[in-house]
Structure 1
Amino acid sequence: MLKFTQKETPKLNFKKAIKKPIPVKCVQINEAFEVETLEGTMKGKPGDWLMVGVNGEKYVCDAAIFIKSYDLVK
């Protein structure tokens, strides 16, 4: 069985891919919150985002990750 760690990138023939621009619902929550996800209960900090995915799944997105990963649609 292959095993990969966070510290080292394996010497494999990686290709480049761009994530499809799939719109999701999101709202920034300004107080601590919890949400039941497919993986269990997640806790959000003040300023984190509550996300609703394409299949209705809910999850928390850290505010710093949101800024790097998403652009709000007008």
Structure 2
Amino acid sequence: MAKYRKKPVVIDAVQFDGTLQSVDGFMPYDAFEYRPSYHMPTSSAPSSLTIQTLEGAMTANHWDYIIKGVNGEFYPCKPDIFAKTYEAVE
């Protein structure tokens, strides 16, 4: 079995805090559907974004990161996976 290493790529990302302001200017509004919570962020149904990704619709929940991929696509990433995969460069 061959082993491979992920190429170092610098990505743009934001952390979704449950508000539209947290993604404003990062991704176009036609790239997602926002579902607000009226009791955010402690509600049992927190705010979320449904993002159309290359793999289909995916949900970004409160505190997930939203990553802009190398081809300009967007997708969500859980905070623990983001921390294991990425480090700040600026």
Equivalent residue, structure 2, for 1:17 = 4
RMSD over equivalenced CA pairs, Å: 1.1
- TM-score, structure 1 normalization: 0.73
Residue 15 of structure 2: aligned partner: 28
What is the percent sequence identity of the aligned residues? 39
Aligned to 1:26, the other structure's residue is in SS state strand
More helix by share: 2
Say which one has the larger Rg: 1
| 1:7 corresponding residue in structure 2 | none
Unaligned runs of 5+ in 1: 1-13
- What residue identity is the alignment partner of 1:23? V
Instruction: Select the structure with the greater relative contact order (CA < 8 A; seq sep ≥ 6).
Output: 2
**TM-score, length-scaled by structure 2:** 0.62
For residues 25-55 of structure 1, give each alpha carbon's deviation from its aligned partner in whole angstroms, at most 9, with x where no partner exists: 1100012222111121110111101111111
Matches of 1:41 and 1:17 in 2, distance apart?
Answer: 28
Report the Cα distance in structure 1 between the residues aligned to 2:5 and 2:84, rounded to whole angstroms: 14
Runs (4 or more) in structure 1 with deviation over 4 Å come to: none
Aligned residues: 61
